[in-house]
Structures are given as C-alpha cells and as structure tokens.
Amino acid sequence: MDKQFVAIAIDGPSGAGKSTIAKLLAKELAFVYVDTGALYRTVGLAALRAGVDPKDAPAVEALLPTVQVELTYQDGTQKVLLNGEDVGDRIRTPEASMAASAVSAIPEVRRFLFHVQQDMALTHNVIMDGRDIGTVVLPDAQIKIFLSATAEDRAQRRYEELCQKGIATTYDEVLADMKQRDYNDSHRAAAPLRPAEDAVMIDTTGNTLEQSVELMKNLVKERLNGCCGK
Ligand code: DC
C-alpha cells in the first residue's frame, strides 16, 4: 500500500456505532469515510432485485458481471451507486441487511468488492469501517480499532435509527436480526468477523455517542502523533 496515505480501520459487529463515530472522526481529521457495509448491501439489493436468492452462491456469482458498484462523494458524504443509480436508503431496509449478510459470505463477492475498497485507500487518507478491514482489506492500516457492544445495546440503537427513518419494525425483530447477522458474520468461512491481532478493543456499551467519539478521537490523535508526524 502507498505509505503516503494514512488508513484507519474500524471493525466490529453491526450497531456498535462504527459508522456514526467514523463519520464524525473523518470530518474532524479531513479523511474520507468509507462505509464498506454499503457495498455488500448494494450487492445484496442487486440480488433481491434480480429475484436471486442471496444465499445461492452460484446464482449470485453469475449475477456479478451485470453489477456495477461505485462509491462517489458529494460534500464529504458517501454515495453508493448500483449500475449508476444512487441506492441510498434502499440498502438500509431489514431485507437488504439480511441479503447483505448472506452475499458477504460468498468469497467471489468479497473478491469483487476488495478492489473498490483498496483503491480508496491507495488514493486517499481513509477511515474505513467494516468486518475485515484490519484483517484482510487494509492489513497495513496505521490504526486498527475493534468496536463492540452488547447485542441488546446495539439493537436498541439500530431500532431507534430505523424508527427515525420511518422503517416499520419492532425492537424484538431488530434484536433477532442482529443476533442472526452476528452469528452469520462471525461464523462464515470467508473473512469472518474477528479483531486483528494489533487492533485496539473498545466496548461502547452504555456510552453516549459523545463519550465514544471522544475516546476514539484521543486514541487516533495519540497514534497519529506517534506514527505519522501529524
Ligand atoms: O455494516 P453493515 O451492517 O452495513 O454491513 C452489512 C453486512 O455486510 C453485514 O452483515 C456484514 C457485511 N460486511 C462484511 O462482511 N464485510 C465488511 N467489510 C462490511 C460489511
């Protein structure tokens, strides 16, 4: 990887606050924030739209040549395009979440999205969040953080987010989905969710957003001062 750019990898289960915290930190540091979950969600959505079962690996693989996934940025906000269409909130529904979890277990899908992610880090200072950023996508990242929280805490946050977006669901449904996705993400053979050996572990259970951001900000500043002369 081109060492002139700094990479911060943030991994952890869904709902631990990765994206909210990473977005705020990216703004503060003037880094590009890359939400890699959005890429898997987009492939999941493409499968649903094509009437393909997201768990059917050969069918999803056959679909990939017709799928173009691009990341673009507008005023610092990431947009993900599926064959040129901004799929925005369409990738945030519970169905798209489940489809993302299913397609992310397919090695060919991971290979397909690997280069989109690496290209970003080769050309920008990035804060990238996902499940395998510190372990697979950016193993040379200068800072690696593994964010976690209890499933109940994460489900409550995700439930509130979905309600705010007007997506009809219940807390129990969100918790059950969260536990299922945790299981899928950490038990799959391809790049399972696990902390990198050199990751800093942070548990955000019970923290306010401000507390978690402050904690991470201090950690990042301390590390960047130490390693990059910033
Ligand atoms: O972060 P998220 O909830 O938007 O991610 C959606 C799904 O994509 C999640 O179930 C796990 C998968 N994913 C992955 O396997 N690797 C990544 N780097 C990011 C997400």
Structure tokens that stand for 77 in this block: 């906000």
Q: Which residues of 149-169 are buried (b: 16+ CB within 10 A; e: fewer)?
A: bebebbbbbbbeebeeeeeee
pLDDT at 228: 52
Ligand 1 pocket: which of 48, 101, 109, 158 to mutate (most atoms within 8 A of CB): 101
Q: How far is the CA of 226 from the centre of ligand 1 (A)?
A: 31
Coil, strand or helix at 20: helix
Question: CB atoms < 10 A from the CB of 189, how many?
Answer: 7
pLDDT, residue 105, reads 93
Ligand 1 centroid from CA 123, angstroms = 23
Please name which of 87, 66, 31, 11 lies closest in space to residue 221, comparing C-alpha atoms.
31
Q: How far is 230 from 135, CA to CA, in rounded Å?
A: 25
CA 206/CA 215 separation, integer angstroms:
13
Looking at residue 155, its pLDDT comes to 94
CB atoms within 10 A of CB 217: 15
Torsion of CA 137, 215, 147, 42, to 10 degrees: -60
Alpha-carbon gap, residue 161 to 166, rounded angstroms: 9
Per-residue pLDDT band at 71 (split at 50, 70, 90):
very high
Non-local (6+) Cβ contacts of 34 within 8 A are: 71, 78, 117, 120, 121, 126, 127, 128, 129
Residue 23 Cβ < 6 Å to ligand 1:
no
In tens, the pLDDT along 188-224 reads 898 889 999 999 999 988 888 888 888 898 998 888 8
Which tens digits make up the pLDDT trace of 147-192? 999 999 999 988 998 899 888 889 999 999 999 989 988 998 988 8
pLDDT of residue 2: 45
Rg (the chain; Cα; Å): 17
Ligand 1 and 64: CB distance under 6 A:
no
Give the pLDDT confidence score for residue 17 in this predicted structure.
86
pLDDT band at 132 (very low <50, low <70, confident <90, very high): very high
Calculate the average pLDDT of the chain.
91
Task: Express as a percent the part of the chain with pLDDT over 90.
Answer: 67
- pLDDT mean over 137-144: 95
Task: Give the confidence band of 226 by pLDDT, cuts at 50, 70, 90.
Answer: low
C-beta 12 within 6 A of ligand 1: no
> Residue of the nearest CA to atom 15 in ligand 1?
104
Could you tell me the pTM of the whole model? Answer: 0.89
Facing residues of 184 across strands?
none
> Is residue 230 predicted with pLDDT exceeding 50?
no
The protein residue with its alpha carbon nearest to ligand 1, atom 11, reads 101
Q: For ligand 1, what atom is nearest to the CA of residue 129?
A: 18
For tokens 């289960």, the residue is 13
